[in-house]
Amino acid sequence: MAPAPIFLAFASGDNDVRGKQLVISNINACQIVADAVRTTLGPRGMDKMMVDSNGKAVISNDGATIMKLLDVVHPAGKMLVDIAKSQDAEVGDGTTSVVLFAAEFLKQVKNFIEEGVHPQVIIKSFRKATELAVEKIKELAIKVRKDDVAGLRSVLERCASTTLSSKLLSANRDFFSKMAVDAVMVLDELLPLDMIGIKKITGGNLEDSLLVSGVAFKKAFSYAGFQMQPKHFKNPLISILNIELELKSEKENAEIRVENVEEYQKIVDAEWQILYDKLQSIHDSGAKVVLSKLPIGDVATQWFADRDMFCAGRIPIDDLKRIQKSCGGSMQTSAQKLTKEVLGTCGDFEERQVGGERYNFFTECPLTKACTLVLRGGTEQFIDEMERSLHDAIMIVRRALKHDAVVAGGGAIEMELSKYLRDFARTIPGKQQLIISAYARALECIPRQLCDNAGFDSTNILNELRQKHAQGAKWFGINVFTEGIADNYAACIWEPSLVKINALTAASEACCQILSVDELIKHSKGGNEYEAPDALPGRGRGRPG
């Protein structure tokens, strides 16, 4: 989903490319892919607009989203797309950072490749540097006390706020960071992401968005008679069905021959009786709210309304599963023998207006805890980007809750790691010293890009940061809001240490993989046929023995 795919030639158009020429070609390809997301980093990052062939536009500054929508053709470039996806799946944030790390690592070693240094020497040094960097992050990371509920919540809100500061919601990050923390806190110990539903309603103010502690979904298509149904219940029994409750014409070519009108009337009556038997069975079970994946017709709707029951058909399967997990009960494919054991319940059911839509709310659920975020905004594209931003914030809160260690953001941890690796490089001899120093320089790409995107003088600010870190101020980084450097830990610009560990590990492994490839072989069509050699005795050419 991009204006044009990124095509990169394989060195002089040959089908077989090898050696130094191929490695440099792959490094150049990765630079071009990274340039596509470079300017999106940080609170002052720019957005990208991607338009598909149908003219639909997606506006986002989320690295993983941009990388997914780019049509990257070059095999080495695709590896950067893969590490962005893995970072998004594993942590939820740091997708732009991981791409920039990988591209910068390759850029720093390009000169070594051109000068004839063997790729395996570089790979060995990179793995050593990554191992040292990860150990240093774990040493520097500050543990969060889980027994201090107020302190833990404050840390989680700061982590979510730091993530949202580089998103579209940066102006309202305090409001949405609280919402993201509330959403995760509602869940049980396993923190299942599928129990957080996100619904989008166009119109209204950003801060009209709300968090529902339960399950909510848009009112399904309803037939005549739904106006008479009650819209509010306390402690209702809920029937979850996968049954069509309406009369349907035969799907196959059916033929019934009758001799007279009475026989035809019996067939019609039997069809109606089957439907009424299903409805009566549901009513007898005691259910007050009837939900079905399949349609519920006008006859059934009016029948339920006459008996003070609520029904809704064509409910999305994801919402039904969330109701099933949080309210109990099980989905039934037959209306026979409906007992209370297969019905769910909730403390409160209500249908009410949200903006221009009617929504059904199931709250005070007794089983697995669930929640629903109802997002409001001016345009569809805006709300879509809100959803992506909140997804990142929720993922960060989940990871911070599971892996209770944080570091300062804003380039602080990268500068400290760079200084540490430079000091370490001076203690070892040989080529490894130069390569680990290059790795340390590459880590400075994050603070440098933050400065460039904010319009600061990156050379001066990086020099100031190097001086501070050399003096032992390990948490000093860039603060784009004060337009200078600051102690980012004291300024509460925090992020989980897992984000940095995962980003460095994934970027380093991708670089090692790219550097270890020394030949590209493109198979032409029809070139894979097998022919048995003539020299084998007792076999004809191409004939099995």
- For residues 220 and 358, membership in a common domain is answered with yes
Residue 515 has pLDDT above 50, yes or no: yes
Same domain flag for 223 and 323 = yes
What is the pLDDT at residue 193?
83
In a domain, 58, yes or no: yes
pLDDT score for 123: 93
Predicted confidence (pLDDT) at residue 441 exceeds the cutoff of 90: yes
Cβ atoms 355, 341 nearer than 8 A: no
Q: What pLDDT band is residue 545 in, cutting at 50, 70 and 90?
A: very low
Both 509 and 413 in one domain: the answer is yes
Of 312, 344, 367, the residue that ends a domain is: 367
Residue in 180, 167, 164, 171 with CA at minimum distance from that of residue 205: 171
pLDDT of residue 146: 78
Are 318 and 437 within one domain? no
Q: What is the mean pLDDT of the chain?
A: 85
Task: Read off the tokens for 493.
Answer: 């610009």
**Same domain, residue pair 35 and 104:** yes
For the segment 343-357, the average pLDDT, to the nearest whole number, is 88
pLDDT at 126: 94
Nearest CA to 197 among 372, 56, 1?
372
- Catalytic position from the list 319, 392, 404, 505: 392
Say which of 40, 65, 96, 162 is annotated catalytic. 96
φ, ψ of residue 225 in degrees (nearest 5):
110, -15
Q: How many angstroms separate the CA atoms of 320 and 244, rounded?
A: 15
What is the rounded CA–CA span in Å between residue 401 and residue 143? 11
Task: Read off the pLDDT band of 525 (50, 70, 90).
Answer: low
500 inside domain: yes
Are 118 and 233 in a shared domain?
no
d(CA 510, CA 67): 15
CA 484 to CA 463: how far, in whole Å? 12
The question of whether 301 is a catalytic residue gets the answer no
Q: What is the 3-state secondary structure (H, E, C) of 360-421?
A: EEEECCCCCCCEEEEEEECCHHHHHHHHHHHHHHHHHHHHHHHCCEEEECCCHHHHHHHHHH
pLDDT value, residue 382: 87
Tell me what pLDDT residue 524 has: 61
Cβ atoms of 310 and 290 closer than 8 Å = yes
d(CA 127, CA 120): 11
Q: 62 catalytic, yes or no?
A: yes
Per the CB < 8 A criterion, the answer to whether 242 and 331 are in contact is yes
In a domain, 537, yes or no: no
Torsion of CA 445, 449, 451, 453, to 10 degrees: 180
Q: Is 427 helix (H, G, I), strand (E, B) or coil?
A: coil
Q: How does residue 520 score in pLDDT terms, banded at 50, 70 and 90?
A: confident
DSSP 189-226: TT--GGGEEEEEEEBS-GGG-EEESEEEEEPPP--TTG
Q: CB of 406 within 8 A of CB of 497? A: yes
Q: What is the pLDDT of residue 109?
A: 92
Span of 5-9, 59-63, 67-71, 339-343 with lowest mean pLDDT: 5-9
Does 529 fall in a domain?
no
Residue 134: pLDDT band with limits 50, 70, 90 = very high
502 sits in which H/E element: helix 497-515
147 is catalytic: no
Token readout for 77 is 């470039």
Give the closest residue to 133 by CA, choosing from 470, 496, 440.
Answer: 440
- Domain of 64, in residue numbers: 17-143+408-520
Sign of torsion, CA 81 137 143 158? negative
Q: Tokens 């008479």 belong to which residue? A: 228
Q: What is the pLDDT of residue 449?
A: 93
- Which of these three, 367, 386, 416, is where a domain ends? 367
Higher pLDDT, 151 or 536: 151
Which of these, 425, 440, 474, 494, lies nearest to 101 by C-alpha position?
440
24-36 pLDDT, tens digit per residue, is 988 999 999 999 8
Residue 285 maps to a domain: yes
Instruction: Dig out the tokens for 239 from the structure.
Output: 């029937």
- Residue-level pLDDT at 541: 40
| 119 in Cβ contact with 110 (< 8 Å) | no
Tell me, yes or no, whether 351 and 412 share the same domain: no
* 467 and 349 in a common domain: no
CATH of residue 57's domain is 1.10.560.10
Q: Judge whether 79 lies within some domain.
A: yes
Residue-wise pLDDT tens digits, 443-470: 999 999 999 998 888 899 999 999 999 9
- Say whether 95 is catalytic: yes
Quick one: pLDDT at residue 15? 53
- The CA-atom distances, in angstroms, between 95 and each of 43, 163, 273, 508 are 15, 11, 59, 14
Q: Best-predicted range by mean pLDDT among 35-39, 221-225, 267-271?
A: 35-39
Percent of the chain predicted with pLDDT > 90: 28
Q: How far apart are CA 486 and CA 468, in angstroms?
A: 10
Q: Where does the pLDDT of residue 11 fall: very low under 50, low under 70, confident under 90, or very high at 90 and above?
A: very low
- Residues 342, 419, single domain; the answer is no
pLDDT category of residue 55 using cuts at 50, 70 and 90: confident
CA distances, 498 to each of 27, 137, 405, 460 (Å): 27, 9, 8, 30
Radius of gyration of the chain, Cα coordinates, nearest whole angstrom: 30
Return the top range by mean pLDDT from 197-201, 218-222, 334-338.
197-201
Q: Under 8 Å CB-to-CB from 319, ≥6 apart: which residues?
A: 197, 215, 217
Residue 459 and residue 446: Cα distance in Å, rounded?
13
Q: Which phi and psi (to 5°) does residue 348 adopt? A: -150, 130
Q: Please report, for the domain that includes residue 314, its CATH number.
A: 3.50.7.10
d(CA 396, CA 95): 12
Q: Which residue has the tokens 């998004």?
A: 88
pLDDT at 188: 77
What is the three-state SS of 244-268? CECCCCCCCCCCCCCCCHHHHHHHH
pTM (2 d.p.): 0.79
Statement to judge: residues 452 and 516 lie in one domain: yes
In a domain, 401, yes or no: no
Tally the domains of the chain: 2
- pLDDT tens for residues 302-317? 899 998 999 998 888 8
Task: Provide the token pair at 460.
Answer: 């001066």
Instruction: Give CA–CA dist 514/512, Å, rounded.
Output: 6
Give dist(CA 176, CA 295) in Å, integer: 36
Taking each helix axis from N to C terminus, what angle separates 19-35 and 95-114, rounded to the nearest 10 degrees? Answer: 150
- Tell me: do 236 and 332 sit in the same domain: yes
Q: Which of 62, 93, 319, 404 is catalytic?
A: 62
Structure-derived torsion over alpha carbons of residues 76, 77, 78, 79, reported in degrees to the nearest 10? 60
Helix/strand/coil (H/E/C) assignment for every residue in 455-466: CCCHHHHHHHHH
Average pLDDT score over residue span 365-388: 86
Q: Tell me the C-alpha to C-alpha distance, in Å, between residue 323 and each of 326, 364, 393.
A: 5, 12, 24
Q: For 137-193, how does the pLDDT look when each residue is reduced to its tens digit (9 = 90+)?
A: 999 998 888 777 888 888 888 889 988 888 888 888 889 999 999 888 888 778 788
How do residues 13-23 score in pLDDT, each as one tens digit?
Answer: 445 567 788 88
The answer, yes or no, to whether residue 274 has pLDDT greater than 90, is: no
Whether residue 534 is predicted with pLDDT greater than 50 in this model: the reply is: no
Element (H, E) at 280: helix 261-284
Would residue 91 count as lying in a domain? yes
Same-domain check for residues 43 and 127? yes
Res. 488: pLDDT tops 80? yes
Residue with tokens 């990124």: 6
Please determine, for residue 504, whether its predicted confidence score (pLDDT) is greater than 90: yes
Instruction: Give yes or no for residue 249 having a pLDDT over 60.
Output: no
191 in Cβ contact with 402 (< 8 Å): yes
Catalytic residue, from 40, 65, 95, 301: name it.
95
DSSP state for residue 524 in the 8-state scheme:
P
